[in-house]
Amino acid sequence: MTEESAHDGGPEPESTIETDGGNGEGVVRRDRFSGGPARSFLSSLAADERIFEADLEVDRAHVLMLAEQGIVEDDVAGDILTAIDAIEVDGHGSLPDGEDVHEAIETAVIERIGAEGGKMHTARSRNDEVAACIRYRLREDVLDALETTLALREALVAVAEANAETIMPGYTHLQPAQPITVAHWACSYEGAVRRDTERLLEAYGRINESPLGGAAFAGTTFNIDRERTAELLGFEGVPASSARGSSAEQRSAVVVENSMDASSSRDFLLETTQALSTHATTLSGLAEDLVIFANRGFVDLADDYSSTSSIMPQKKNPDTLELVRAVAGDAAGSVQGLTTTLKGLPRAYNRDLQRATTHAWDTVDAVTEASEVAAGAVATADWNEETLAAEAGEGFSTATGVADLLAANGLPFRTAHEMVAHAAENGGDYGALDSAAREVLGEPLESFVDPEAVEDALDPVESVASRDSQGGPAPEAVAAQLEAAREALSADEETLEETSDALEAAHEALREEVNGYV
């Protein structure tokens, strides 16, 4: 993924079209730059296997546009496109040596059809070419990541629907705080993952813009059609169903307008890696909760998402979730690495960018896999209702409900807080509350509140049911959250499906255009 100036027409210089012993050296670089010990250090050919298919598609779209614009003869375009098809069949492993996949593919085309193959690089640079290839491949990877966020949200919604009345302890600072439900816990993560989905969709929109035609960074003298190559490659900006309600026929191709910006900017990589890192952080919190819950007997993880000890036969360890938790550190490291690489680069192209893309590839792979594993672990876990119910009231977790009850009956909340705190030191039952009332308020508890209401407030089930404010844990409040979650999930599933279909339609349309020449 390296730099090269755009070829501005005329036959290739003789030194750049001859091959050197069949290894392709000298096809793009002059002899002066074709050897030496730094060649392997400069080469990204092995790493470029990831964008091999993308590069072939970008080549096809560019050659088609050159033919349509009359820049390259139709028969030459046909020969180049036929050679590209053959190279695809042979695969990345058959490419000749080169600094990168772009040079290697061009070399392979020239080896097949002769010097005329060099016309495929007319009016472009490897700078805009690689930027297009990265965007082409990354958008597919982001769609895969998005699919796993939807699977996780679906699993969380299913858990919530099945456990709307399953009482469990809620914690702050890992201390028993207030009783909630498993549904309320699941909805809390569904909301976070939903925002992760939104961030990835927004990042996709900025990935899905075409830099092709920016050339090295200063455009080209040729009469190219940048919108045409963007159309052929399906670069349509925002995800399909988010395109301001427009139909597929109405949506138009989107290019990165400024040629310098098009060839040299990698902010889309940074934004995507940041969005993935944020999702990894959400996954880490979810994994941590499940590890703790498994330790306390609240949940049984499926064997598929657990392991045992090599020496202790009784062990069942939440290993997969521990690895999910660790991915957040890797992703955060990639954000830092990518930011540091990009922060001091001047315009336009710098070779540092060859090292930048790896951070995005590593992150999207790791986070997508972690998200898929987390979804599976959530979907297959069994919640232990009896254990959860027994623990829900531990640590006088209903204390806040009692204080709220006293405040609702006219006592200043801070005074009620002090009184209940006294009762907590003595067990937190009705007797302790009554004693605290006599000590703090000078009167028995029943002077301020109905004893039956106090008993209800002390009951974890009744305590949860009373917390029916918007977003609260009461079953009725959770039902509203679930309705919103299902609606948002359905909308995002539709967006993902339509966006994937749009990419496939662009691929098929490009293939049809190519078939008209080969």
- Known catalytic residues are 173, 309
Rg (the chain; Cα; Å): 31
Q: How far apart are CA 402 and CA 396, in angstroms?
A: 10
Tell me if 179 sits within 8 A of 168, measured CB to CB.
yes
Q: How far apart are CA 263 and CA 242, in angstroms?
A: 26
9 — alpha (psi -120 to 50), left (phi > 0) or beta? left
Element (H, E) at 181: strand 175-181
Number of alpha carbons in the 13 Å side-chain half-sphere of residue 518: 16
CA 61 and chain centroid, separation: 27
- Would you call the peptide bond into 348 cis, given omega within 30 degrees of 0 as the criterion? yes
Number of alpha carbons in the 13 Å side-chain half-sphere of residue 47: 20
CA 464 and chain centroid, separation: 35
CA 274 and chain centroid, separation: 9
Tell me the β-bridge partners of 172: 175
Number of alpha carbons in the 13 Å side-chain half-sphere of residue 394: 14
Tell me if 438 sits within 8 A of 446, measured CB to CB.
no
Residue type for 326, please?
A
Question: Is residue 428 classed as helix, strand or coil in its secondary structure?
Answer: coil
Location of structure tokens 């491949």: 137
Tell me if 365 sits within 8 A of 351, measured CB to CB.
no
Expressed in angstroms, the distance from the first to the final Cα of the chain is 28
Tell me if 179 sits within 8 A of 462, measured CB to CB.
no
